[in-house]
Amino acid sequence: MRATEQFRGMHVLVLGLAKSGEAAAKLLHKLGAIVTINDSKPYADNSQAQQLEALGMKVICGHHPVELLSDLFQLVVKNPGIPYSNVMVQKAEELGIPVITEIELTSRMSEADIIAITGSNGKTTTTTLIYEMLQGSSKIPTIAGNIGTVSCEVVQQVTADHCIVLETSSFQLLGTIQFKPNISVVLNIFDAHLDYHGTKQEYIRAKSKIFENQNDQDWLIYNYDDQNLVEAVHYSNAKKIPFSTKEELKEGAYIKDGQVYFKQEPIMELNNIVLPGIHNLENILAAVAASLTMGATQYQIQDVLRTFSGVAHRLQFVGEVDGRRFYNDSKATNNLATKKALGAFQNPVVLLAGGLDRGNSFDELIPAFERVHTVIVFGETKDKIRDVAKRAGIKTIVEAQWMEDAVSVAFKHSTKGDVILLSPACASWDQYRTFEERGNRFIQAVKALSVD
């Protein structure tokens, strides 16, 4: 971590704890800042706040007292999930106090190079691929951000010999001022988080902050097939490296003659890559471009692509039982993610779908049901998904109560060669605390089938 006096004696408000707020508070305290913490969780139930108070920080819990903010404060570090409509954030902006997220601190403090990855879909897979591909390279990779450890913790451990592979969200990026990765990777931009950003234009603006401060010593890797991105990156000063699954790009990553290419050099044959789906091919191209630019070896890239079958809960291959291949895509909490998952397979599919009802329609899934012959529905949205499946011409639609029932019923209605896919298109909170819990229940049910 860089030695700095820039925060010593500075009055900083950390707004919202969770992992990122706690890490930011501890880092700022270590750097000599006068830290005040404001968290909505009551003090009696807030072990994080109690621990930070014991370290000498002031804590105010249970509510957001707008009168707390004054021009005494020089910086606000907010939890990414707190919207800009929050009264504390609005007051800070009225007073002209900069409002940032913790990745801004990481960027300012890091001795290590940073590869930052963002996009509406595919961030975690691409981040993981880059991290794995950089193993054994001249830079020691460390994974951070939305995946792995909070970046404010990682930055305290790394040196110039390291590389931070950082997954970033639009929520985090919007709270940046000087953030400048050595390599930025932008995978795609779809309509997402509009309840937070307001409009698609504002969402694109937030994503574009990943490369806003880059210069001609930095690299920007972007999806050439995404017109939103092509327009957005036009104004970047970074060296641009495009990737495409559709066009041959002499200065980028692309597909040609059944192989992955990077800058006209063949990297690996497609039939040796185990990760399924055209969307994952985009993630692979982005990861190859970033990894080679940072100094990865072609051998390590090939080794990763021969063995990497996906990250947990994101089109994760679980196993094969009596000729049926099971995939856990519990992270698919919206229509777009489920459409991409269904498009990844050529085999007949038994789909498990349903969950929390947010009031949206599922009509856009109908064209994606081309290879689906059976749908197992569950959760609050079961009737909506049943209706969509009927209109898509699906003959077999079965209701299940819990994930164990859904897996058992799916197996009974499948044949050898089928893919049995959990891709719910819904959040999990009607039945499970997290999508991870839902996915783990799926995995356990598949393993129980194997035992039987």
Whole-number pLDDT of residue 340? 87
- What distance in Å separates the CA atoms of residue 37 and residue 75, rounded to the nearest whole number? 12
Closest of 399, 401, 409, 347 to residue 373, by C-alpha:
347
CATH number at residue 415: 3.90.190.20
pLDDT, position 191:
62
| Structural domain total, the chain | 3
Q: Do residue 47 and residue 166 come from a single domain?
A: no
Task: Please tell me what DSSP assigns to residue 150.
Answer: -
User: How many other C-beta atoms can be found within 10 angstroms of the C-beta atom of residue 296?
Assistant: 25
Query: How far does CA 309 lie from the centroid of its chain?
Result: 17
Q: Let me know whether 47 and 130 are in one domain.
A: no
Query: Are 128 and 96 in a shared domain?
Result: no
Query: How far is Cα 120 from Cα 187, in angstroms, rounded to an integer?
Result: 7
Residue ranges for the known binding site for ATP are 119-125
- Answer yes or no: do 440 and 348 share one domain: yes
Q: How far apart are CA 421 and CA 342, in angstroms?
A: 8
Tokens of 278: 């055209």
CA distance 157 to 160: 11
Residue 273 tokens, joined: 């890559």
Instruction: Answer whether residue 323 is part of any domain.
Output: yes
Residue at 132 is within a domain: yes
The annotation places the binding site at 119-125
> Among residues 48, 65, 100, which one ends one of the domains?
100
Strand partners, 321: 324
Verify that 367 and 218 share a domain, yes or no.
Answer: no
- For residue 310, the model assigns a pLDDT of 81
Same domain, 120 and 150: yes
Q: In 234-297, which residue ranges form alpha helices assigned H by DSSP?
A: 278-294
**pLDDT value of residue 148:** 77
Residue 39 · residue 49 · CB < 8 Å: yes
Phi, psi of 329 (to 5 degrees): -120, 45
Whether the CB-CB separation of 425 and 333 falls below 8 Å is answered with yes
Q: Domain boundary residue among 307, 341, 356?
A: 307
171 and 298 within one domain: yes
Query: Is 4 within a domain?
Result: no
- What amino acid occupies position 114? I
We report the CATH number of the domain holding residue 91 as 3.40.50.720
- Rama region for 122: left / alpha / beta (φ>0; ψ in -120 to 50; rest): left
In this prediction, residue 358 carries a pLDDT of 84
Residue 441 in tokens: 């229940």
The pLDDT value given to residue 107: 96
346 and 210 in a single domain? The answer is no
CA distance 146 to 328: 20
Same domain assignment for residues 372 and 358: yes
Per-residue confidence (pLDDT) for residue 193, from 0 to 100: 60
* Torsion (CA) 188, 149, 139, 276 in degrees, nearest 10: -40
- Mean pLDDT by 10-residue block, N- to C-terminus, for the chain (452 residues)? 91 94 96 96 95 97 94 95 91 96 96 96 92 95 89 96 96 96 93 68 92 98 96 96 96 97 97 86 97 96 92 88 95 90 92 93 96 98 98 97 97 97 96 95 94 62
Distance, in Å, from the CA atom of 124 to the CA atom of 165, rounded to the nearest integer, reads 11
**Cβ pair 244, 252 in contact under 8 A:** yes
E strand or H helix at 230 = helix 227-232
Domain extent at residue 370: 316-451
The predicted pLDDT at position 309 comes to: 81
pLDDT of residue 197: 66
110 in the same domain as 213 = yes
What pLDDT does residue 190 have? 73
User: What pairing do the DSSP bridges indicate for beta strands 259-262 and 265-269?
Assistant: antiparallel
Can you give the CATH number for the domain in which 182 is found? 3.40.1190.10
Length of the chain: 452
